[in-house]
Every structure is written in C-alpha cells, then in structure tokens.
Amino acid sequence: MFAPPVNVDTLGVPRCGLTHPRLLYKPTQFVPASLWLLRRTLASELGGWRPSRAIHATNPSQDFLVRAWRRGARMECVPHVTALILASGGRPNAYVMRDGSQHEALWLAMQADGFREQLLTRMVLEAERDATALRRQIRGWRGWLKGAVDRLLTAAKLHPDAVRNRLARKPKGHWIVHLRALRGLPPLSDQGRPE
C-alpha cells in the first residue's frame, strides 16, 4: 500500500499525484518510496531494487513497483496524506547548496493551527486551476474563443451568462424556474413567493 503523493514545489504549492479512480497503483504514476508500506517477503521475492544502469525505467524505485505490479501484487493507495514531499528532483543543485530553508518554513507552518485546512484549500484551488486549463485545452478553439469572449464582456462590465441568455431569448429567471422544477418545488409567483 502507499499514501497519496503530495509534493510541495519550490513556490510552496502542494499538488497531489494522480491515482487510479479506485485508488489502485498504475505504472503511469510516480510513487516515492517514502510513501510505501510493503511486506518484506515481496521485497525478497523481487530481489530488491535493481541498479539504475540495469533498467530502462525512470529510477530503481519505480522499476521495483512495476515489477511488483506485474507479479500481481495488490497495491492500493490509502486515502490519508502521510507525508509532504519536497522533491530534490525539482530543485537544481539541491544537494550541493544544502538549503533547508523551505523545509524549516514548512515545519513551522505545520505547527500552526489550521495548517491542514490551509494546505487542503491551496491544493483544491491549484487543482481547479489545472482542471480549468485542461478543460480549455480539451475544448480546443471553441474553448479559447468562449474564454476570449467572456474576458471581453467582463471588461465591458457585462455578465457573460446574462448576454448569452439574452441572445438565446431565455426569459428572465429561467434558471431558478428550472432548478425549482428539478428539485420538486412549486413555481414562484410574480412576487417571488411559491404559488
């Protein structure tokens, strides 16, 4: 089993590595060895880590995981954050400079009340930024065009949805009418009270 990889980048932004929807290991994900918990017998059966010069995988730890996966070992992600990773791979000259200031700052932040909530909030916001960019990319030129039109309308102090609804000749209040019907509520009267 392994914990979800939460990596804190050089700007202090935490990001969670993607996992399988059912929280199972997939060879396409990178799981640092510091997040693993495994039986000694599995390590013995696989012969431990192979030297980097003997493998084509990114590194020996990931080669080990793929070999365990091929063997049929059940590797599940436990949905609990157990570590925050400040990976040296994303920090040029990390071992030469031996700068521990970000580690110290993170350790101090962890002592403060509300640290987990702040970390979670930052992760959610970053994930949404990433998802928004992906959605635009998936939508292609239409997504780009919609974003550009929305920015122009906003710059003109117009609400993009209001403009779209008016152009589509939707009546005022149509969305609330739709939601009330969807939720099984009676329609509103002209005075805004349930009929």
Q: How far, in Å, are 86, 129, 137, 155 from residue 6 at the CA level? A: 9, 17, 25, 37
Per-residue model confidence as pLDDT tens digits over 34-63: 999 999 999 999 999 999 999 988 889 999
The answer on pLDDT for 70 being more than 70 is yes
* Distance between CA atoms of residues 86 and 92, nearest Å: 12
CB 2 within 8 A of CB 75: yes
Q: What is the pLDDT of residue 113?
A: 94
Residue 191 has pLDDT above 70, yes or no: no
**Dihedral of alpha carbons 71, 2, 20, 30, sign:** negative
